[in-house]
Structure 1
Amino acid sequence: MSQRLPRPSGEEQAGEGHGAVPDDVAVAVERVLSSTALLWNRADQGLEPAISPIQLRAVEVIARFGRLNLGGLAEELGAIPSSTSRLCDRLEAAGLIARETARADRREIVLRLTDQGERLHAQLVRRRRAAVRDVLAQMSPASRARLLDALTEFGQASERGERGGRGIAGSRTA
């Protein structure tokens, strides 16, 4: 059963000029994303080894790129390179990442997950997917199909907006 959210009024509808999207749609998506973030955070609890949320985010970013230089990781995390370097010190001490000299430029240091880092990332992915599957199992097959279509389109629109807004800022991979 779907729940209809109250339609905002006045200033809250100001966003409707952007593609004529009513604020109630944006509010509904925001609520779902917030609930999903909580679901994922619960799945993150109890990982071994236990690491902080920012360390976990760094592991995720490195896993996504495979090999990444420090500047690329800092950019992805929205952090300054010196803070990112200290973060990497902790991840390296925990045995989750390794720093290596880049093949193309020996002055550049690249980051990669160690076997232990790969195992941690795989554990994270398994736990999050299980949590999402538990929620999806409560939906009808028709609703899951509609959700897949909508999420696919939402993801494509998000990626288009990301490419148009930020652009490509130099090389991130080594």
Structure 2
Amino acid sequence: MSQRRPRPPGDEPAGDGAGGVPDDVAAAMERVLSTTALLWSRAEQGLEPAVSPIQLRAVEAISRSGRLNLGGLAEELGAIPSSTSRLCDRLEAAGLIVREPARADRREIIVRLSEQGERLHAQLVRRRREVVRDVLALMSPASRARLLDALTEFGQACERRAPGGAGAVDSRTA
């Protein structure tokens, strides 16, 4: 990917987006995120046990929270509770999660990762970090330092944009 060169003042391209962000910046970010998603998808292939993308998203959500009730998991996934319940049926059958009644209200069901689910998540994290390290190794130390600063600020902006974490998801089925 080519480096973005500073433009002289007043020489921004037409089509500036929200907040005065030039289209070329947004397009560059979209390309990087798209390529990163592809790299991550490749890192997910061959996981044992094999899981679908939505199952992997559920494992990640549960791992982030430690324990979630079905409603909380549905919200994290942007799915309806009945679909989330069926998803949990499949995850439980695969040995990746454990369902248990909540201590305060035994009608409420809590899900957590099983030991096998934790191993799967750890394997995923290792693979993803390996892919990222391979790409970062192609960059200069100075570029990596600038990237870290930019990603830190971008992450903070994402958190301000999507309070509560997950943000909007188009699909409501799990």
TM-score of the pair, normalised by structure 2: 0.86
Matched, 1:91 2:91: yes
Q: CA deviation at 1:105?
A: 1.6
CA–CA distance in structure 2, aligned partners of residues 165 and 128 of structure 1: 21
Structure 1 runs, 4 residues or longer, greater than 6 Å off? 164-167
Q: Single out whichever of 127-136 and 20-29 deviates more from structure 2.
A: 20-29
**Cα–Cα, structure 1 residues 166 and 145, in superposed 2: closer, same or farther, change >3 Å?**
closer
Q: Equivalent residue of 1:156, what SS?
A: helix
CA 1:47–1:164: 2 relative to 1, 3 Å: closer
Q: Confirm or deny that 1:132 pairs with 2:132.
A: yes
State how 1:148-159 maps to structure 2 within 5 Å.
148-159=148-159
Deviation (angstroms), 1:73: 0.7
C-alpha distance after superposition, 1:71-123 (max 9, x if no partner): 11111111111111101000000000000111222111010000000000000
The answer for the alignment partner of 1:68 in structure 2 is 68
Question: Any unmatched runs of 5+ in structure 1?
Answer: 168-174
Equivalenced residue count is: 161
Rounded to whole Å, the distance in 1 between the matches of 2:13 and 2:86 is 44
Instruction: Give the whole-Å Cα distance in 2 for the aligned partners of 1:51 and 1:8.
Output: 44
Whether the 8 Å CA contact 2:76–2:166 is kept in 1: the answer is no
Equivalent residue, structure 2, for 1:172 = none
Distance 1:133 1:83, change over 3 A: same
Percent pairwise identity: 81
Q: Give per-residue Cα distances to partners, 1:18-67, cap 9 Å, x unaligned.
A: 22111111111111001000010000000000011111110000000000
**Residue of structure 2 in register with 1:170 after alignment:** none
Residue aligned with 1:111, SS = strand
Instruction: Specify which structure has the higher proportion of helix.
Output: 1
1:34 aligns with 2:34: yes
CA RMSD of aligned residues (A): 2.1
Aligned-residue offset at 1:14: 5.3
TM-score, structure 1 normalization: 0.86
Structure 1 distance, partners of 2:66, 2:31, is 32
